[in-house]
Each structure stands twice: as C-alpha cells, then as structure tokens.
Amino acid sequence: SSQDELVYEEKDDTFYVSLHKTTSQHYVVIHLASATTSEVLLLDAELADAEPFSFLPRRKDHEYSLDHYQHKFYLRSNRNGKNFGLYRTRVRNENAWEELIPPREHIMLEGFTLFTDWLVVEERQRGLTSLRQINRKTREVIGIAFDDPAYVTWLAYNPAPETSRLRYGYSSMTTPDTLFELDMDTGERRVLKQTEVPGFDSGCYQSEHLWITARDGVEVPVSLVYHQKYFRKGQNPLLVYGYGSYGSSIDADFSSSRLSLLDRGFVYAIVHVRGGGELGPQWYHAGEFGKRRN
C-alpha cells in the first residue's frame, strides 16, 4: 500500500534474505547469505523509525550469524577456521570478540541456543549431529545422549531463555520424527510429539552407522537399516542411496516409504559420499569439480 515502507532491499541476487528476532528481543535480525558469504543487519526493535545497520560488513568467504542476550552478542563465525567457532562481544569491533569455542578440525559447529543458565550447541562429527549443553557459570559440559547408532538431531524453537527446558528434534532410521523436552538441570527427558506411523513397530528394525573404504583409501560413512527378522548377513538385496553436492547433508532420518522394502528383506543404505556436508566443508570440497569421479 501507499503506507508501506521499504526497510531494506538486497541488490545482489546471489544473496537470500531472512528475518528473525534475537533472544533478547532487542533486535530484529536481517540475515543476508550467499553460498560462501554472509552479513547481518540489525534493527533496534524498540524504535519505530530505526534504520538497519551492518554488524559486520560482508567480505568474501566470511560466513557468520549472531544472537543477542543479556547485553552481549554471540556469533557463529568461520573467520578463524572453516568448521566455525563461537564468539562473544559487547561491541561491533571484530578485534573485541572473545572466543568461547574455537574452530576444530573434525567438529563442525552448526548452531547454538542461549538460555540464562545454559548454552546449547549443535555440532556435527563423524557424519552425525549432536547436542551439548554447557553451564554458563561453571563451564560444565554435558553431552545429550541419543538412542540409535544412525540418527539426526536438531535444535527446535526455544523462545523462553529463562527456562531450563530445552526442546530439540530427533529422527533416526528406526524412529519417526520426535520432539523432545529435556530439563537441563535434572536430565529428565520427555516426548512432546512424535509423528504417527500406523502399524509401525520400531523394535522390528535395526540401524547401523559404519565406515567403508573407498578405492582411494578414504573412509566413507554409511548409515543402513534392515528388518531384524529377515536379515541374513551377506544374503539380503541391498538398495544404496547416495548424494554428494552443494555441501548438503543426507541425514539418517526416518522414512515410512522405505518400510515396504525392509519388510521384504531389503537392506537400505545411505552412503554419505564426498560432496556432501556430513564431515564438514572439507568433505564438500573433496567432491567438487575434478577432485572426485563419482
């Protein structure tokens, strides 16, 4: 309408734009990202006529995202390593960033959620995602346990930072999509919601996460699932799925459409080939252009 006001328009069509609020509710975040570069613009949510400003101007191959809570900014950035680190600062000056979690060679930092007493990080290691809760006062680190050898987990929407209750998603090749709530103070966990699959009995199926050696000697992760009643080692028909491109991870989640195969004695395997993101950016780059014949 004639009263609509343009707040921001991205001129570079290689960037996409998303919008959300910080945990503190103090800022509206305009997140701009291309395949290899990102930038964050902030709007003061308490000022009706606020203008967006850049937290850190975009520069080639630097990717970052941020949150704000208790008067501090928390940033996930690849400035010091391709697998990303976590930083904290009160000001926009990049030289003032305090390193909370350094970039690590074999662990990819995929996300984080802030609470008053806890920091929860989502990571990827050896082809699998994981969650760790870190006590912000004592620095105690507690790994969140999962039930299956091949699975995927993710941080769900957690809008109340003052609580000790974390909501996270979980799925495996034998477990339908499930939303859990974990009391981080006590370790008590409960299911809030699970996708219903009529006639499905998870106890009939078995999943595995293993490694195979490629022709060039590189170890490649594989997730597989089968019906325990019909499994005969080395004798079952095998359906293999693999996709390695754009750094996309093909996670070992649940699929009801594959059950008919498993119920007829098939083994279903996902080969997490190079070109995907299961082992971090280096796994993606190892499969691009002429580096790998697939």
Query: 182-186, 281-285, 286-290 — which one is most confidently predicted on average?
Result: 182-186
The matching CATH number, chosen from 2.130.10.120, 3.40.50.2000, 3.20.20.70, 3.30.70.2860, for 61-194 is 2.130.10.120
Of the pLDDT bands very low, low, confident and very high (cuts 50, 70, 90), residue 292 is low
Calpha distance 192→182 (Å, rounded): 10
Of the pLDDT bands very low, low, confident and very high (cuts 50, 70, 90), residue 287 is confident
Is the pLDDT assigned to residue 85 strictly greater than 80? yes
Average pLDDT of the segment spanning 184-206 = 97
Residue type, 11: K
Q: What is the pLDDT of residue 293?
A: 62
Is the pLDDT assigned to residue 1 strictly greater than 70? no
The domain ranges of the chain are 61-194, 202-291
202-291 homologous superfamily: Alpha/Beta hydrolase fold, catalytic domain (3.40.50.1820)
Give the DSSP letter string of 5-36. Answer: --------TT-EEEEEE-TTSSEEEEEEE-SS
C-alpha angle with apex 180: 176 to 186, nearest 5 degrees?
A: 145
H or E element that contains 282: helix 281-285
Looking at residue 36, what DSSP letter applies?
S
Average pLDDT of the segment spanning 196-201 = 96
What contacts 234, CB < 8 A, 6 or more positions away? none
In tens, the pLDDT along 208-264 reads 999 999 999 999 999 999 999 999 999 999 999 999 998 899 999 999 999 999 999
Q: What is the pLDDT of the chain when averaged over all its residues?
A: 95
CA distance readout (Å), 46 to 20, 31, 94 = 15, 19, 25
What residue spans of 12-142 are helical by DSSP H?
Answer: none
What contacts 202, CB < 8 A, 6 or more positions away? 174, 175
> Are the C-beta atoms of 268 and 224 separated by less than 8 Å?
yes
C-alpha angle with apex 40: 39 to 41, nearest 5 degrees?
A: 125
Of the pLDDT bands very low, low, confident and very high (cuts 50, 70, 90), residue 4 is confident
Q: What is the pLDDT of residue 253?
A: 97
Q: What is the pLDDT of residue 137?
A: 95
Average pLDDT of the segment spanning 83-92 = 96
Both tokens of 209, joined, read: 């996460």
> Are the C-beta atoms of 123 and 86 separated by less than 8 Å?
no
Give the DSSP letter string of 203-237. Answer: GGEEEEEEEEE-TTS-EEEEEEEEEGGG--TTTS-
What is the model's pTM? 0.92
Q: What are phi and psi of 117, to 5 degrees?
A: -105, -15
Q: Per DSSP, what are the bridge partners of residue 225? A: 207, 268
Q: What is the pLDDT of residue 133?
A: 98
Calpha distance 178→191 (Å, rounded): 7
In tens, the pLDDT along 141-155 reads 999 999 999 999 999
Q: Count other C-beta atoms under 10 Å from residue 114's C-beta.
A: 19
